């Protein structure tokens, strides 16, 4: 049996933890209105036009939407060159395991998508 290890999400310490596989847990805490917030797993939402998994995280009463792959990369994948984007090595946008993610620049990410057939090159062609 494999034990899943969770780490606190940077910027959301004490509120949320994430595993290397992309499972996110909201930790037990007291809400702004005084009610107790029980520990539970967050349900991710698949964004229709992009295919990425997304969750909403709350901090100080405000909600921010995050892509699950970005949270996994921020927590588990080193970024020594401070690159701005994350690429799924196998091209599967729903596989958010940390070994499937790499930091990259925009050019590399677009070229990888083109080589995998996710992006179609239309330069010079008329639209019908």
At residue 121 the predicted structure's pLDDT band, cuts being 50, 70 and 90, is: low
Rounded to whole angstroms, the Cα distance separating 59 from 9 reads: 12
Rounded to whole angstroms, the Cα distance separating 45 from 55 reads: 6
> How high does pLDDT run on average in the chain?
91
pLDDT cut 70: percent of the chain above it: 92
Q: What is the pLDDT of residue 128?
A: 53
Rounded to whole angstroms, the Cα distance separating 15 from 4 reads: 18
Name the residue among 34, 96, 22 with its Cα closest to residue 61: 34
Pull the structure tokens for residue 119: 């992006």
Q: Which of 43-47, 102-106, 117-121, 123-127 has the lowest mean pLDDT?
A: 123-127
Q: What is the pLDDT of residues 46-90, one digit of tens each?
A: 988 888 999 999 998 899 999 999 999 999 999 999 999 999 999
All structural domains of the chain: 6-116 (3.90.75.20)
Q: What is the pLDDT of residues 5-33, one digit of tens each?
A: 999 999 999 999 999 999 999 999 987 78
Q: What is the pLDDT of residue 40?
A: 96
């Amino acid at each position: 049996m494999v034990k899943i290890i969770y780490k606190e999400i940077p910027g959301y310490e004490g509120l949320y933890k994430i595993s290397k596989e992309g499972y996110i847990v909201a930790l037990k805490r007291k809400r702004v209105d005084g009610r107790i917030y029980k520990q539970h797993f967050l349900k991710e939402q698949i964004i229709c036009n992009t295919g990425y998994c997304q969750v909403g995280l709350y901090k100080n009463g405000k909600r921010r939407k995050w892509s699950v792959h970005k949270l996994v990369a921020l927590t588990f994948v080193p970024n020594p060159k401070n690159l701005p984007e994350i690429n799924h090595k196998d091209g599967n946008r729903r596989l958010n395991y940390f070994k499937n993610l790499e930091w990259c620049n925009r050019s590399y990410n677009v070229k990888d998508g083109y080589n995998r057939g996710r992006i179609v090159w239309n330069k010079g062609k008329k639209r019908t």
